[in-house]
Each structure stands twice: as structure tokens, then as C-alpha cells.
Copies of this chain bind each other. A is one copy, B any other.
Amino acid sequence: MPSYQAPVADVLFLLNDVLRMQDHDDLAGYAEASPDIVVAVLDEAAKLAGQQLQPVNLSGDQEGCRRAADGSVQTPKGFKAAYDAYAEGGWIGLAFDPAYGGQGLPYLLAAAVSEFFISANMSLSMYPGLTAGAAAALLTHGSEELKRLYAPKMLEGRWTGTMNLTEPHCGTDLGLLKTRATRRDDGSFSLTGQKIFISAGEHDLTENIVHLVLARIEGAPAGVKGISLFVAPKFLLDAAGNPSEKNAVSCGSIEHKMGIHGNSTCVMNYDGAQGWLVGEENRGLNAMFVMMNEARLMVGVQGLAQSEVAYQNAASYARERLQGRALTGAKSPEKPADSLLVHPDIRRILLEIRAFNEAGRAFALWLALQSDIAHRSPDAKAREKAADLLGLMTPVLKGVLTDRGFDNCVKAQQVFGGHGYIVEWGMEQFVRDARIAQIYEGANGIQALDLVGRKLPANGGRAITAFLTEVGAFLKANDGDEALKPLLGPLSASLGHLQKATLWLMQNALAAPDNAGAAATDYMHLLGLTALGYMWAKIAKAAFADADPARADFLQAKRACALFHAERILPETALRLARIQTGAGVTMSLPAELF
């Protein structure tokens, strides 16, 4: 059975020493997040993750969700109790507006604890995670009445939320969607159509489910400009706002999937279901994007979270499993064999994972901080810069953390040899669960295209310029620092590759957009790797500044991982640049029928 221990000390180090959240008292909710509150929140979250969520992760995968003939869906044993503990802890509303039942704490803190929950049980954490996303969309775009009716119950966890975008013939290309909305006399709508891949579409955890649904109002323009967003609860609400009559929406089937078996992925049939418009007519995609941006950040965290729990188990196995002898001579001659950790290739695997995890966590929290600045700062200039970075880096975080997070789960599984392939050990579940994060909320190829096609050129490249400037300034400010030198050289080289690639895209992709498409994934990873290198430089700087002998080990590990990342991981940026610069010529040259 795998185990999990939330990395509280690592998160605290990032919040306090690296990101210095105490310097952001001007952001709403930060003053309330005093150091002792932060510690208490992280400790509570760690307890929930370890004691309630993790123990039903492996069993939940094996049992899966079951749909009965009446369309109801049963979640795995123990999920209801674990979900209730999650809801009762107030975790869904942690960073939401107190006016609607939230706690008003930093989103930064919500992002930090969400990693713990996802590491412990990705399937289960999706139910409240989607609820938070749906509540955010309602609170941003819904009428005051809709907000009052739905948001408090959702933040309390009494009702969960879903997002209904995909249809059988369209996922990425939402302009093709066919679900239609017909006006009713009372101003509400009747929704008719079929949605697929609806996570948490039906289940037995809560008394109601709030569906956010994209549909086309009769007479609306074709394509994406004729799509509106609706809210349609599983049970309609009575005058007091409580669930009463069943709405005409039902789960037609649940999918058999590679992983996340504990989360019900439903085909949802809307047969004239009553729904209410959220935001303006034909601006549904815009409203849904609120939900999707936050969801993308959370999906990036899913990649990281699976990588973290996979690392913990692989490291513990490597410490304990005795197999073979060190190349340099027996290290434990009194035992039948040495531990796996004497083998450099095993260490290489573990360090590759860990060098990613710690910087990936810093990157996610750094981005969550940008989100808080963008939404909560009193300073318009600061808001603009943070919003730029948030827009630029959200697809990068989603794409890079899920691609590398998945690869890391595979690597961690490899440490176990044959046992890694066996269900009971739990390692293969991490691989199967992590896999979906590369696909949903916009497949990673779409993230890359969003990056190079939209985010990069926006406002004359203002966002990437801000990032290049920030890293450049960091390098300059620490130029004479001997301790940081082994890190700053590789980081500076990667920054140079990033600059060259950006320039290459400016010069070659405007006239020939296929050059952007062919470069997109490599550019996303080049930017992501540089960001991770920048995070390691910031972490190392904080670690070198800290001389606390009580945590000498902790700081030594940080410095070793930073160096490993600089030596072994960052050189990949040169490869990414080389690939980008080859352009789209050969890629586009093969006629379609020859594939």
C-alpha cells in the first residue's frame, strides 16, 4: 500500500522564504493569513489528506464508480465520509468571498493545500475541485440571485458543481456544439442535447449537483459566438432554495477509463432540462473561461501532486529494498545486498523527479500569487503585470507540469521493478491517474497553441517581456554571488535560448503560422524549463541565506537538487530551441494521405 505525507515544511519554506507572502499584506486576505494561521491551515490539510483521503485512494481505484439502472451513480466505499470531512473542513470556500460563505484567505493558500488533497486522492479531490471552479464562474458572471441561490451551498460542499462543454463530435472545437437552449415564458431556458466526459456528473456524495452547461440559444449565430452559459441543477430549487423536483437531466452512462476510477465520468443527457442564463447571451465561452483558467492551474497541480506522491513512495522503496551491490564496493556488507540508493541510476531517477517537484511547486505557488495580485492588489500597475504573467504562464503550468508529472510517475514506477506493474503496490495507479491531466481542460497541444498563438503575441509581447526582464534582473542582481554561480550560468543559458526562440517566433511565425504550430510544444517546454530553473535559483538563494543549523539537512537537500536541475535538466532548453528553429517545413511536407 502506498503512503503519503504532505510536504508541509517545503510549502512553508516556499511561502515564507522564497515567495515571501508576508510582504504582500496589501492583498486582500493576506493580513488574515498570519504565519500561525498558515501553519495551522497546512497542518489541518495535511491531516485531512493523510487520514481521510489517502486511505481510500487505492480501494477507490479498484472499486470504481457504478451506475445503477435508474441512472444513479455510486461512488466507492469510503468516499462519502472522506468527502464530508473535506466539506466540513471548509476547504472549498477557503479563498472565496466571505459574503457568499467563503473564508477570504489567499488563493495562494488554497493552491498549496490542493496539492496535498490531490496527492492523497486525485479522484476524490476532483468533486470539490470542480465545485470551486463552478462557484467561481457563477460568482464572476452570475446574477446576484443565482449567486445567492447556489454559491453558499457549493462553498459549503452541500452541493457539487460540474462543467459541461464536450459533446461527442467536439471537444477542443466548441464552435461545433449542438446542445440547444429554448426560451421559456418565465425567462429561463429548456436545454436539450448530450454532453460527454462530464466529471462528477452524477454521484451519491451530495443532495444536489449544479451543472454549468454550454448551449446555443435558438437563433444564435453559428460558431463560438453563439454559445451561452447556463446553470441547471440536478434538482430544481423550491421557494426556500432547497432541492425539490428532479430536473430533466440524467446520467446516460459512465465511461470506462484508464484511471481516475473513483471519479464518475458521465454522459449527461439534457432532455428539456430547465436552466438559467449565466452572464450575457452568446458570451458563454467568455464566462466558462473563468472556470477554465482556474481549472488549468489546478490541473497543472494535479501533475505535480501525482509526481510528488509517486516520488515519496519510490524514495521510500529505494531506501528499503536491498538489491545488488554498489559499483564502488559493498556499502552494507553485513546485509545480503545494498539498498537501491547505492545505484547512481536509481538516484538519477529520484533526483530528476524531485528536482522537478520542488521547482514545480514553487512555480504553481508563484503563479497562484500572481493570481492573487491580479485579482486583489490595490495597485493597477501590479495587477496588470500579474495578469499578464498569469495569462502567459497558465498554459505553461498546465502543459509542463502535467507532461513532466506523468513522466515522473512512470519513472517512479520503474524504481519498483516488476512490483511497479502490480496493482497492489499503487504505483501504476499514479501513472493512470496522472495521464488524464495531460488530456483534459484542453489537451497539452492546445495549451501550447494558446501560448504561442494568443498569450505570446498579446499586447505586443508584453507578458513574455515582463518575464524575460524579471529573470534577467534576478541574474544581474546576483551576478557576483559565488554560491549561486553554478546555477546562474545554466539559467542564463536557458534564458538566452528562450530569448532566441521568442525572437525566432516573432520573425517566422507571423507570416507563416504553421511555424508557430510546429514550434508550440517545444516552446511551451522551453519556457516552462526556464521558469523551473528560475524557481530553483530563487529557492537556492533563500536556502543559502538561511544558516539555521536545525535545518541544515533540509537546506543541503535544496542546494543539491538545485544543482542537479541546473546540470542535468536545464540543458534541455538547447534541444528545444534547436527543434523550434527547424520550422514547419518537413512537418507540413508530407501529404495527409501518406500518414
Contact = CB atoms under 8 A, between A and B. Distances in A.
A593 B552 CA distance: 13
Most buried by B among A255, A440, A444: A255
A582 interface: yes
Interface stretch (A180-188, A280-288, A290-298, A346-354): A346-354
B584 A578 contact: no
Interface residues of A, number: 97
B588 A518 contact: no
Interface in A325-355: 327-328, 336-337, 339, 341-351, 354
A518 B575 contact: no
Interface stretch (A49-57, A165-173, A227-235, A472-480): A165-173
A421 interface: yes
Interface string A152-187: 000000000000001001111100100000000000
A39 to B, nearest CB: 23
Given A348-B518, A563-B586, A595-B350, A443 B417 contact: yes
Contacts of A197: 418
B351 A172 contact: no
How many copies the complex holds: the figure is 2
A592 interface: yes
Contacts of A337: 173, 176
A345 B445 contact: yes
Interface stretch (A109-117, A455-463, A509-517): A509-517
A499 interface: no
Contacts of A166: 418
Nearest to A572: B575
A380 interface: no
Contacts of A560: 586, 589-590, 594
A84 to B, nearest CB: 28
Interface in A227-269: 255-259
Given A172-B323, A587-B348, A439 B414 contact: yes
A360 to B, nearest CB: 18
A345 B436 contact: no
A108 interface: no
A510 to B, nearest CB: 11
A209 to B, nearest CB: 20
Interface of A: 166, 169-173, 176, 196-197, 255-259, 315, 318-319, 322-324, 327-328, 336-337, 339, 341-351, 354, 406, 410, 413-414, 417-418, 420-424, 428, 431-432, 435-436, 438-440, 443-445, 448-449, 453, 512-514, 516-518, 520-521, 553, 556-557, 560-561, 563-564, 567-568, 571-572, 574-575, 578-579, 582, 584, 586-595
8 smallest beta-carbon distances between A and B, as pairs: A344-B517, A327-B513, A258-B428, A344-B518, A256-B423, A567-B582, A315-B595, A345-B445
